[in-house]
Amino acid sequence: MAVLSPLTFNSLNLFPGLVHGVFSRTEGYSKGPFLGLNVGLSTGDDPDIVNRNRALMLSSIGLTRVLFLNQVHGTDIAVIKSEKDAADAVWKGQGTAPSKIFKADAAVTNLKGLGLAIQVADCQAVVLYDPDKEVIANVHSGWRGSAANIISRCIDTMVTQFGCSPASIRAGISPSLGPCCAQFINYKQEFPKALWQYKEKDRPYFDFWQISRDQLGAHGVLDEHIETMGLCTRCRTDLFYSFRANKATGRFAAVIALKI
């Protein structure tokens, strides 16, 4: 198996000195509809193979522990301030499943060497980093997360729990469903009216990349501190898993950690 080469948020040099990456599906042990580096245990893939994929992913960026969440398209945020908070919830490798998994769609920590992972297959993973306070976060933001503005809730948590300043925060938006493919026919029932402005004029297609940029900006993150990878998961199923394109599919991950 080749060494993995994850995509990184470094084109704007916003994340120097961090361990981070977005892992494509191009390497890994999974077969069939999960072909490649599937890290999702709830997809129907063989759990042993998924755990091998997770171990491969972590070893490729030099991490020994990572926090995976039970993502439910909600707005709860796991706050990890101490080793005690993390002890029972950290995935440390094959055969060491955590006894506790946070039911949350974002995580924030100041612990060094602890990876925060978000699993996606069209939704956005939004990584956040305050270099002044040395605090990181990772956010799962699908259309429900965008509608509930989980990004702003996570920034609020960074401010209230860790004393972060939004103007210092760097943000990276992972590959996800692009404006070319984000069709929502029932958007009037699904989205608050404030998001309707992001619809194409004559078609029910939405620009969630811009929604996230604007939600970040409205909460004080500087536009020059935001990087969007700009890759559509549905268009690039050679690189990423996409639920829109293939209902039975895996999950790829975005991971961020403070170096020890």
Q: What is the pLDDT of residue 3?
A: 65
Q: What b-and-e string marks burial along 195-225, b requiring 16 or more CB atoms within 10 Å of the CB? A: beebbeeeeebbbbbebbbbbbeebebeeeb
Cα(99)–Cα(97) distance, integer angstroms: 7
Q: What CATH fold (topology level) applies to the domain 18-258?
A: CNF1/YfiH-like putative cysteine hydrolases (3.60.140)
CB 61 within 8 A of CB 21: yes
In 104-233, the DSSP E strands lie at: 106-109, 115-120, 124-130, 135-141, 170-173, 226-228
Estimate the crossing angle of helix 150-162 against helix 208-218, to 10 degrees. 30
pLDDT tens over the chain, length 260 residues? 456 889 998 877 889 879 999 999 999 999 999 999 999 999 999 999 999 999 999 999 999 999 999 999 999 999 999 999 898 899 987 667 788 999 999 999 999 999 999 999 999 999 999 999 999 999 999 999 999 999 999 999 999 999 999 999 999 999 999 999 999 999 999 999 999 999 999 999 999 999 999 999 999 999 999 999 999 999 999 999 999 999 899 999 999 999 98
CB 257 within 8 A of CB 65: no
Cα(239)–Cα(113) distance, integer angstroms: 27
Beta-bridge mates of residue 18: 258
Cα(57)–Cα(68) distance, integer angstroms: 13
